[in-house]
Structures are given as C-alpha cells and as structure tokens.
Amino acid sequence: MDLTSQINQLEADLQELGSLAEKAERTRVRELLKQEQKKVEKELSVKRQQKADQARREADPSTVSKPIYTVKITNYAWDQSEKFVKIYLTLKDVHKIPLENVEISFTEGSFSVLVKDLGGKNHQMAVLNLLYPIDVKDSFKKIKSDMLLLMCKKQSTKKWECLTKVEKKSKDKEKPTVEDNAEPGDGLMNMLKKIYSEGDDEMKRTINKVWTESQEKKVRGEETMDF
C-alpha cells in the first residue's frame, strides 16, 4: 500500500473514531476512543510528512543522487534500574522517520545503533565490552520525541559502576594502590607524589611547605626524646 492509500485509510479511521466518540455514552469508552484517536493522528502526521518528503525528492531529483554520510552518535547518557541499563540517545526528529530506519542490535556484551536517513545523514553508534552481560531477548528500544531509548535487560540485579569493562579498568588504574609489604605511610607518600607531579605551581608550593613543617616537627620531637 502506497503512502497516499495509507493516508486515506488513516483519515477514514480518524473520522469513524470521532463519530463513535460522539455517540459513546460511557465515559470509559469515550476516553479509550479518544486515546485511539490520538494514536491515529500521530501516525497520520508521520505519513503526511513522509509524503511531503517524497514529493520534495521527486520535484528535485538531484537530492536522490546526493550521498548520505554516516556520523557517530556522541550525545548520549545512561542510567540504570534494578533490571535495566538505559541508554538515552538525543536525536532530533527521530520520532518522525519510519520505524524501519531505526536498526538496533543487541548481543550479551554489546549493542549497536544505526539510524538511517535522519536529517540527510545516517547516525551510528556501537558500544562493545559491556561491563556485565545483558539478556538479548528481553532488551528493546523505545522511540520518543527527539530521543531513542535503549533498554538493556540485565542478567543480574548487580549495580553497574560504569558502562563498559574498559571504563572500569581505567577507573581502577586511577585508584591509589598499596603494596602488601609497604610501610603504613607509603600509600600517603605515593598519593602526595602523584598530586605534586600533576599539580600547578601553587599546589607544589603548598605541598613543599607542609612537608617542610612536618619534617621540622619530626626533628624537634626526636630531639626532645633524646633528653
């Protein structure tokens, strides 16, 4: 069925739903019919936009031959609940393109996204080596206004510290480590050395001052013990 036929069908559905809503006597029935009206109106709006885009392409054949570039999706955020890891991708007008243009692939340890022909470009994203396995069959997508939401079903209720194993390793490396045979003050000393090497001039002057005063107090304490 072409777009024109689909639009005609949706317009007829909308008209009949409106007629039924006016005749309905029960409040619950009227509300259900109104909800269905809104769904049909939204679908009709999308189809009309698609038809307008199609007409524009047919009127200007040069647009068909223009190459479609693929760009990486970088604007995203993530959150989690007990059962899901949620990935939020901000994509303007993603709710206006055909559903088949949004391709999502899940594996136990990764997910990938390909949004085709949105704003004249393909939008792509792939995240590998997820921190923990996900359940492929129960993971899914939701399309909202200007947003694509990926619902990655956790295989366990364990809380995720970060999204990927790579991020976890990077965070672990940043944590100060204390060797088993190290002296009690070595951990603090190593931390001070790290802060000193990475700090600006003001930070280095402050650390030098604190260190000098600490050594002077230590010497005075030892001298007092000798008496």
Helix (H) or strand (E) holding 52: helix 27-59
Q: Identify any residues that bridge with 151 across adjacent strands, giving them in sequence order.
A: 86, 140
Helix (H) or strand (E) holding 77: strand 76-80
Residue-level pLDDT at 186: 59
Q: How far is residue 78's CA from residue 13's CA, in Å, rounded to a whole number?
A: 39
Residue-level pLDDT at 72: 93
Q: Is residue 92 part of a domain?
A: yes
Residue-level pLDDT at 226: 42
Residue-level pLDDT at 187: 59
Residue-level pLDDT at 63: 54
DSSP of 99-142: GGGEEEEEETTEEEEEEEEETTEEEEEEE-SBSS-EEEEEEEEE
Residue-level pLDDT at 138: 96
Residue-level pLDDT at 173: 80
Q: Which residues of 112-132 are buried (b: 16+ CB within 10 A; e: fewer)?
A: ebbbbebeeeebebebeebbb
- For residues 50 and 93, membership in a common domain is answered with no
- For residues 57 and 92, membership in a common domain is answered with no
- For residues 27 and 10, membership in a common domain is answered with yes
- For residues 78 and 142, membership in a common domain is answered with yes
- For residues 137 and 190, membership in a common domain is answered with no
Enumerate helices (H) and strands (E) in the chain, giving the number of each: 6, 8
Q: How far is residue 156's CA from residue 26's CA, in Å, rounded to a whole number?
A: 45
Q: Is residue 181 part of a domain?
A: no
Last residue of a domain, one of 45, 64, 83: 64
Structure tokens at 40: 């049909």
Q: How far is residue 38's CA from residue 30's CA, in Å, rounded to a whole number?
A: 12
Residue-level pLDDT at 98: 92
Structure tokens at 77: 């955020």
**Positions of the chain with pLDDT under 50:** 178, 180, 223-227
pLDDT in tens, 26-55: 888 888 888 888 888 888 888 888 888 888
Q: Which domain holds residue 40?
A: 3-64
The total number of structural domains that make up the chain: 3
- For residues 162 and 88, membership in a common domain is answered with yes
Q: Is residue 26 part of a domain?
A: yes
Q: Is residue 177 part of a domain?
A: no
- For residues 140 and 111, membership in a common domain is answered with yes
Residue-level pLDDT at 172: 83
